[in-house]
Amino acid sequence: MGKLRILLLVILVVISITACEKDDICVDGDTPLLIIRFYDNDNPGELKAVPNLRVAGLGQSFTVDTFADRTSSDSIAIPLRINEANTGFVLISDSADEDDLETGNIDTLTFEYNTLEVFISKACGYIANYDDLGELLTVDTENWIQNIEIVTPIIQQQDSAHVKIYH
């Protein structure tokens, strides 16, 4: 009886190990983030960090969690909505709280795009790529964003900048 249990256990282990196919493990199934680099408006070739940068989704009460909140950074990666044709963000330079009120310089930026679903594998399913990227900056009297340049209108990878923002 003991030999039968051991034999059944060995057979079960062999079946479970050989039953997995390569497609059952997802290693490259992430929708790419939008990469934004910040540049000096007076010297366009040089990167310039935005002091105490805070980014929140338009209409959201929480900040984007793909980078540390209120840090000085010359590059960020932010997610776009998969099921929408645009995504809006509030970008705040010199962000700080005073009596629970935001005191930084707030600019509103909306990205428009077409979503393309791409099948990766059975394990990963579909990811979204973005095509025909465009931007719309809400103009006010104190914009800290001076100019925006779309470097790559197609977002398929996140290894280089898609957008340059000059400030």
Task: Note the pLDDT tens digit of each residue in 108-163.
Answer: 999 999 999 998 888 888 899 999 999 999 999 999 999 999 999 999 999 999 99
Residue 24 pLDDT class (50, 70, 90 cuts): low
Give residue 6's pLDDT.
76
Give residue 20's pLDDT.
56
With residues binned 3-state (H G I as helix, E B as strand, rest as coil), the percentages for the chain, rounded to 5, are 10, 45, 45
Of 9-18, 88-97, 98-107, 145-154, the poorest mean pLDDT is in: 9-18
Give residue 46's pLDDT.
96
Give residue 23's pLDDT.
53
Of 54-58, 76-80, 99-103, 115-119, the poorest mean pLDDT is in: 99-103
Percent of the chain scoring above 70 in pLDDT: 89
Spatial distance between the Cα atoms of 24 and 141, rounded to a whole number of angstroms: 54
Give residue 28's pLDDT.
67
Spatial distance between the Cα atoms of 145 and 9, rounded to a whole number of angstroms: 65
Residue 5 pLDDT class (50, 70, 90 cuts): confident
Q: Residue 3 carries which side chain, given as an amino acid letter?
A: K
Give residue 101's pLDDT.
87
Give residue 51's pLDDT.
96
Which region, left, alpha or beta, applies to residue 64 given φ > 0 means left and ψ of -120 to 50 means alpha?
beta
Where does residue 42 rank: exposed (0-12), middle (13-18), buried (19+ CB within 10 A)?
A: exposed
Pairing of the two strands 147-150 and 75-78: unpaired
